[in-house]
Amino acid sequence: MDIYVSQLFTGLSVGSILLLIALGLTFTFGQMGVINLAHGEFIMAGAYTAYVLGDHLTTQVSILVALPVAFVIAGAIGLVLERLLIRRLYSRPLDTLLVTWGVSLVLQQAARDIFGAPNVSVTSPSWLDGGLTVGSVTFPYSRLFILGLVVVAVGGIAFYQGRMSQGRRMRAVMQNRELAACSGIVTGRVDQLTFFIGSGLAGAAGVALTLLGPIGPSLGTAYVVDAFLVVVAGGVGQIRGAVIAAFALGILNAFVEYWTQASLAKVVVLVGVVAFLQVRPQGVVSLRTRTLA
């Protein structure tokens, strides 16, 4: 019985990590149809921000400070990318794929040149050490922190898109770009803001990931495929869809891995997503429109 509780929690935790890295991508991919393969490098930029701040601030607060700072830094890099390159390639998804892949290689090598090829370590704060022990099951605080972070992030985005005018403009542009432009929304500015937020969320994800995994130049490559998986399975641009897909995939992964092995679990999850997309190619949640396009 205990093992099922542990595994369920692990599944939720894996799901929360998947959601964290995919949240930013739902914006950029969903909003603008931009296949951003450099998304993993924004995660890496966030992780390195945590490392640099960890050197200068005390361990206890550095992660909390690092979250907003990484958001801004990764968002800024995303903004630069958008202004210089992506805005010229909006209607050409294959070209953006190639360009962003090239940018990801450049960013990886830049990280290697600045910080060195070996992994660097970030000490997690002592208030995140250990876990909550209920009976014989331990819930590590670092994983609880990430779950909490994801809840706050999703809540924040829901509030932003629901209640704030900027957010509503973002939804409008996503649903029907031409009509939004006709209604007087400057779509170019909304796109910039969307890309900033999407990349910033990736940066914040990178900070959270320093609690659990390695921090190195190829950190992004480990996560970018999973991020796309969640976004596509959840329905492009749909936050609700991404949430459902992320947790479903996380729990599926955790239980299949428990019953078999890690490699097989990855295979089963991939096959599952492919099979699901055959049945429902638009993803879990999709926008119902009457447009012909």
Partner 1 sequence: MGRFRGGRVGGAAVAMLLLAGACGDKADEPGAATSDTGATTGAADTGDTIKVGVLHSLSGTMAISEVSVKDAELLAIEQINAAGGVLGKQLVPIVEDGASDWPTFAEKAEKLISVDKVATTFGGWTSASRKAMLPVFEKNKALLWYPVQYEGLEQSPYIFYTGATTNQQIIPGLEYLKAQGKTRVFLVGSDYVFPRTANKEIKAWAAANGMEILGEEYTPLGHTEYGTLVNKVKQADPDAVFNTLNGDSNVAFFKQFKDAGLTAADMPVLSVSVAEEEVRGIGPENVAGHLTSWNYYQTTSNAANTAFVKAYKDKYGQDRVTGDPIEAGYIAVYLWKAAVEKAGTTEVEAVRAASGGITFDAPEGLVTIDGETQHLFKTARIGKIEATGLITEVGGSGQPIKPDPYLKSYPWAAGLS
Nearer to partner 1 by C-beta: 37 or 232?
Answer: 37
Query: CB-based contacts of 39: which residues, under 8 Å, 6+ apart?
Result: 21, 24, 25, 28, 199, 202, 220, 224, 227
* Count of CB atoms situated within 10 Å of the CB of 175: 13
Nearer to partner 1 by C-beta: 228 or 238?
Answer: 228
Beta bridge partners of 187: none
Query: CB-based contacts of 33: which residues, under 8 Å, 6+ apart?
Result: 90, 93
Contact 250, 83 (CB under 8 A): no
The CB-of-281 to partner 1 minimum distance in angstroms stands at: 27
Nearer to partner 1 by C-beta: 64 or 262?
Answer: 262
Given 20, 23, 143, 248, the residue binding partner 1 (CB under 8 A):
143
Report the C-alpha gap between 243 and 31 in whole angstroms: 17
Q: Does 118 bind partner 1 (CB under 8 A)?
A: yes
Q: Does 115 bind partner 1 (CB under 8 A)?
A: no
Q: Which residue stretch of 10-18, 71-79, 182-190, 195-203 sits at the interface with partner 1 (rule: CB under 8 A)?
A: 10-18
Q: Does 148 bind partner 1 (CB under 8 A)?
A: no
The CB-of-170 to partner 1 minimum distance in angstroms stands at: 25
Q: Does 212 bind partner 1 (CB under 8 A)?
A: yes
> Coil, strand, or helix at residue 216?
coil
Query: CB-based contacts of 159: which residues, under 8 Å, 6+ apart?
Result: 167
DSSP 8-class letter at 87: G
Q: Does 21 bind partner 1 (CB under 8 A)?
A: no
Q: Does 6 bind partner 1 (CB under 8 A)?
A: yes
Select from 154, 146, 148 the least CA-distant residue to 23: 154
Q: Which residues of 233-252 are buried (b: 16+ CB within 10 A; e: fewer)?
A: bbbbbbbebbbbbbbbbbbb
Given 98, 185, 270, 284, the residue binding partner 1 (CB under 8 A):
98
Given 57, 79, 266, 268, the residue binding partner 1 (CB under 8 A):
266
The CB-of-135 to partner 1 minimum distance in angstroms stands at: 13
Q: Does 165 bind partner 1 (CB under 8 A)?
A: no
What is the enclosing helix (H) or strand (E) of 139?
Answer: strand 137-140
Chain residues that interact with partner 1, rule: CB under 8 A: 3, 6-7, 10, 13-14, 17, 84-85, 88-89, 92, 95, 98-99, 102-103, 105-106, 108-109, 112-113, 116-124, 129-131, 133, 138, 140-143, 211-218, 221-222, 253-254, 257-258, 261-263, 265-266
